[in-house]
Amino acid sequence: MKAIAYDRYGPPSTIRLRDLDRPTVGDHEVLVRVRAAGVDPGVLIFLTGRPYLVRLAAGLRRPRVPVLGRDVAGVVTEVGARVTRLRPGDEVYGTSLRGSYAEFTATHERRLAAKPTNLTFAQAAAVPISGMTALRAVRDTGQVRPGHRVLVIGAAGGVGSQAVQIAKAYGASVTGVCNPTAIDAVRALGADEVLDYTREEIDRDGPVYDVVIDTGGNRPLSLLRRALAPRGTLALVGGDWTRGAVLGGYGRQVLGAPLLSTVVGHRLRAVSARERVEDLEALRDLIESGALTPPIERSYPLAETADALRHFTDGHPIGKIVITVDAPG
Ligand SMILES: NC(=O)c1ccc[n+]([C@@H]2O[C@H](COP(=O)([O-])OP(=O)(O)OC[C@H]3O[C@@H](n4cnc5c(N)ncnc54)[C@H](OP(=O)(O)O)[C@@H]3O)[C@@H](O)[C@H]2O)c1
C-alpha cells in the first residue's frame, strides 16, 4: 500500500510516499481502507519530535511508528477475531495509533464509530481529535450551561471552530477570538461576537466570561484570568508547541495552572482529549442534528501531504486541512 512514511524526526520534507505492507489486524482491531485523514498539531509534533517530551511516547531516537497521521475516516475491510461492534463495509471515523496517512490503517475497534451520515469522508476526517478535544473543553472541563458567556480563543482553528459550535449547541453566548481574515467565518460558525486578536485583547470587556477556552496557547495565565468572571473556568487546550524545545508552550498546563488553581477562585484546568468511541458518538449526534459542521479549508491528495503540512503550519487556515486518499481498486 502507499503510505506517508518517515524514519527520522524533521520538517515536512522528511516524509516520503512509500510502498509498505498492509498492516495486519490484532484480535480487537479492524483494517480500514482510508478515504481521508485529518491534519492537526499532533501530527507536526510527532513528525518533528518537538517538543522533546513527545519522544517519550513517539520514540526516543527515531519514530517508533513509521506512518504519519492519526485522524481517519474510511471503510472497514477486515475485522480481528474478537471484534464485536464493526463489520466489513461499515463506514467509520475515529483515530489510529498506527498511522492514517496511508491507503490502509489498522486500529482498535473502540477508536472508531459510525461515520455521520451527512458528512463526506473528508469532513468526517476533520472531526475526531479536534472535535473530541472541543467536546471535552465545552462539556466536561467548561461545564457550559445555557446562558453562560464563553470565550473561544483560536476560534478559526481546528479545535476552536468546533468549540464555538458545540458551546452554541449547549446554549451559551459565544465570543470568538481570531485574526481579521477569519472574522466572517467565525461569525458564520455561530459566534455572537468576534474579537480580532491583532486589534483587541481578550480582557477588553473586563472579567465577564464564565468559561474561557484557550486553543491559541500563547497568553499568560494572568491575562486569561482577567477575562474570567469570579469563579469562572479556564479550559487550557493549547500550548504553542513551537515554543520551547522540551515542554513546548505546555508549561502553563502541566505546571502553572495546577499550582495556581489551589490558591485562586478560578478553576484553571488543562483539557486532555480522551480518544474514545462514546465521544465520537456524541459528536455524531451533534453533527447529524445540524449543530456541528467541521469547516474545511482545503483537501490535499496523499502524495501532497508535505504541502498540506506546510500550509497547516504557515497558512493560517480557517478550519481544517484534510488529506484524501484515492481508494485502490
Ligand atoms: N489537549 C489535547 O488533547 C489537545 C488536542 C488537540 C489539540 N491540542 C492543542 O490545542 C492547540 C490548538 O489545536 P488546533 O488543532 O485547534 O490548532 P490550529 O488549527 O492551529 O488552531 C490554533 C488557532 O489559534 C489561533 N491563534 C494563534 N495565535 C492566537 C492569538 N494570539 N489569539 C487568538 N488566536 C490565536 C490560530 O490562528 P492563526 O491562524 O491566526 O495563527 C489558529 O486558528 C494546539 O496547541 C494543540 O497542540 C490539544
Please compute the mean of the pLDDT values over residues 100-124 and round it to a whole number: 98
Q: Transcribe 93-127 into DSSP letters.
A: EEE-TT-SSBSEEEEEGGGEEEPPTTS-HHHHHTS
Q: Which atom of ligand 1 is nearest to the CA of 177?
A: 33
Please give the distance, rounded to the nearest whole angstrom, from the Cα atom of residue 218 to the centre of ligand 1: 9
Q: Is 131 in the pocket of ligand 1 (CB under 6 A)?
A: no
Where does the pLDDT of residue 17 fall: very low under 50, low under 70, confident under 90, or very high at 90 and above? very high
The answer to whether 215 and 152 have CB atoms below 8 angstroms apart is: yes
Higher pLDDT, 136 or 254: 136
Where does the pLDDT of residue 177 fall: very low under 50, low under 70, confident under 90, or very high at 90 and above? very high
Closest CA to 286 of 205, 192, 185, 165: 165
pLDDT for 183 equals: 98
- Choose the weakest-confidence range: 9-13, 259-263, 321-325: 259-263
Rounded to whole angstroms, the Cα distance separating 141 from 121 reads 29
**By alpha-carbon position, which residue is closest to atom 38 of ligand 1?**
316
Residue 275 in grid coordinates: 480518544
Rounded to whole angstroms, the Cα distance separating 118 from 115 reads 9
pLDDT for 254 equals: 65
Higher pLDDT, 289 or 253: 289
Assess whether pLDDT exceeds 60 at residue 143: yes
Q: Is 132 in the pocket of ligand 1 (CB under 6 A)?
A: no
Q: Which atom of ligand 1 is nearest to the CA of 219?
A: 31
Q: Which atom of ligand 1 is nearest to the CA of 316?
A: 39
pLDDT for 250 equals: 65
Q: Which atom of ligand 1 is nearest to the CA of 270?
A: 1
Residue 67 per-residue DSSP state: B
Rounded to whole angstroms, the Cα distance separating 304 from 39 reads 13
- Its CATH architecture, for the domain 129-270, is 3-Layer(aba) Sandwich (3.40)
Please compute the mean of the pLDDT values over residues 293-297 and round it to a whole number: 98
Q: Give residue limits of the domains in the chain.
A: 2-127+294-324, 129-270
Closest CA to 74 of 34, 114, 30: 34
Q: Which atom of ligand 1 is nearest to the CA of 132?
A: 5
Where does the pLDDT of residue 101 fall: very low under 50, low under 70, confident under 90, or very high at 90 and above? very high
pLDDT for 300 equals: 98
Sign for the CA dihedral angle at 309, 70, 35, 158 comes to negative
Query: pLDDT tens digit string along 205-232?
Result: 999 999 999 999 889 999 999 999 999 9
Rounded to whole angstroms, the Cα distance separating 279 from 130 reads 11
Q: Is 312 in the pocket of ligand 1 (CB under 6 A)?
A: no
pLDDT for 262 equals: 78
Rounded to whole angstroms, the Cα distance separating 24 from 74 reads 17
**Three-class SS of residue 300?**
strand
Assess whether pLDDT exceeds 90 at residue 304: yes
Q: Is 38 in the pocket of ligand 1 (CB under 6 A)?
A: no
**By alpha-carbon position, which residue is closest to atom 21 of ligand 1?**
157
User: pLDDT > 90: what percent of the chain?
Assistant: 88
Q: Alpha carbon 123 to chain centroid distance?
A: 13
Mutational pocket test of ligand 1: of 132, 133, 215, the residue with most ligand atoms within 8 Å of the beta carbon: 215
**By alpha-carbon position, which residue is closest to atom 45 of ligand 1?**
238
Q: Which atom of ligand 1 is nearest to the CA of 155?
A: 43
- Choose the weakest-confidence range: 19-28, 58-67, 113-122, 244-253: 244-253
**Three-class SS of residue 89?**
coil
Please give the distance, rounded to the nearest whole angstrom, from the Cα atom of residue 72 to the centre of ligand 1: 20
Where does the pLDDT of residue 235 fall: very low under 50, low under 70, confident under 90, or very high at 90 and above? very high
pLDDT for 247 equals: 66
CATH number given to 2-127+294-324: 3.90.180.10
pLDDT for 328 equals: 59
Higher pLDDT, 262 or 266: 266
Please give the distance, rounded to the nearest whole angstrom, from the Cα atom of residue 98 to the centre of ligand 1: 24
The answer to whether 15 and 46 have CB atoms below 8 angstroms apart is: no
Where does the pLDDT of residue 249 fall: very low under 50, low under 70, confident under 90, or very high at 90 and above? low
Q: Is 313 in the pocket of ligand 1 (CB under 6 A)?
A: no
pLDDT for 258 equals: 76
pLDDT for 37 equals: 98
Is the bond preceding 51 in cis, omega lying within 30 degrees of 0? Answer: yes
Please give the distance, rounded to the nearest whole angstrom, from the Cα atom of residue 154 to the centre of ligand 1: 6
Please give the distance, rounded to the nearest whole angstrom, from the Cα atom of residue 78 to the centre of ligand 1: 35
